[in-house]
Amino acid sequence: MGAGDDDERVGNSETRGGERPTRPKVDDLLDELEVLEAKVHAPEAKEQLAETIRLARRLDTRGPFGNVVTSFDRTDAAEALVGSVVFGIPMLVESGTLEVGTFVASHVGYLLGTLAFTVALVYGLLYVADFQEVKIVDPVFGLVPRRMVGVLTISVVTATMLMTAWGRVDWSTPWLAACQVSVCFVAMAIGAALGDILPGT
């Protein structure tokens, strides 16, 4: 059998119908590990396999703008804070923020719709838009992504503190004040999500 036959055999192993097979991804590895985990019953082997799955989720794979994002640490929190402040300051000094807050205070349906839209938009920026490949790891209560909780919490706290410190709200009327803060929160939540996800940490 000659060298030409060897080359042909190698070529056939790499192609099928003229196309190269796709390279396995981390997701493929995780799928295989999870299938294997379901078949393993020995406690020690199951624990070791679970640790292997956790390590695989943290593999330093490159995404469109940086690494695959899994954790939410102090650096991410700081980036979210900066983003929320940058987007929120125009809302803090704009009188229209208070007017909108007054309006939604008497139209609860619009208030709830605005908040729901904001949460959905933040989720879309973090997990649907292709800025980064973001993995949901160890969600709160097994359901809510930790990164989303962090971004929304930072936005709420920042909006409340700054609007209070700058005298933009009067807490003697708590419902009105909360509604006015919620309007500022919308912009800050978007800014926090972008500030967190764009740097690619």
Q: Which of 188, 199, 182, 163 is nearest to 107 (CA)?
A: 182
CA distance 186 to 88: 9
pLDDT higher than threshold 70 for residue 49: yes
For 135, other C-beta atoms within 10 Å of its C-beta total: 18
Other beta carbons within 10 angstroms of residue 200's beta carbon come to 13
Q: What is the pLDDT of residue 164?
A: 94
CA 165, 171, 172, 173 torsion: positive or negative? positive
Confidence of residue 194 (pLDDT cuts 50, 70, 90): confident
Q: What torsion do the CA atoms of 116, 121, 124, 126 make, to the nearest 10 degrees?
A: -110
Return the pLDDT at 64: 46
